[in-house]
Amino acid sequence: MMLIPGQLVSLATFPGVIVHEAAHMWFCKLRNVAVLDVCFFRIGNPAGYVVHEEIKAFNTAFLVSLGPFIINSLLCIFICFPAFLPMRVFGVASILSYFLLWLGISIGMNAFPSSGDGYALYQNAKKAVSSGSILAILSFPLVLLIYLANIGRIFWLDYLYGAAIGLGLPALLL
Partner 1 sequence: MRKVICEKCEGEFQTNETLKVDQKILCGVCAESVLAEKKIPVDHVQRQIDPTICIGCGMDNGDTDLAKLGQLPVCPACNKLFKNRPFPTWIKTALVGIVLLVVFALFWNSRFIRAYYDIRRFNAAMEVGDFERGAAYFISASQRVPENAGIHAYATFYKGLLLINQDKPAEALKLLQSCRGRIQNESDLEDSILRAQIAIAFDNTDYDEFLQLSIQMDQKYKGDPILTGQVASAYACKYAQTQDEQYRIMSMDALDRARTLANSTPELKEYFVEYEQRILHRLHTKEIIDRNEFIKRYPNGWIKEGEEVL
Please give the residue ranges that form the binding site for partner 1 (CB under 8 A): 18, 22, 25-26, 29, 32, 34-36, 38, 40, 53-54, 75, 78-79, 81-83, 85-86, 89-92, 96-97, 100, 103, 174
- Least Å distance, CB 85 to partner 1, is 4
Query: What are the start-end ranges of the E strands in 22-172?
Result: 35-39, 49-52
Q: Which is nearer to partner 1, 80 or 142 (CB)?
A: 80
CA distances (Å), 28 to each of 25, 33, 116, 142, 172, in order? Answer: 5, 5, 16, 20, 33
Q: Which is nearer to partner 1, 84 or 161 (CB)?
A: 84
Q: Which is nearer to partner 1, 73 or 97 (CB)?
A: 97
Q: Which is nearer to partner 1, 83 or 167 (CB)?
A: 83
Q: How far apart are the first and last CA of the chain?
A: 46
CA distance linking residue 8 with residue 27, whole number of Å: 28
Phi-psi category of 69—alpha, beta or left, where left has phi over 0 and alpha has psi -120 to 50? alpha
- Least Å distance, CB 47 to partner 1, is 16
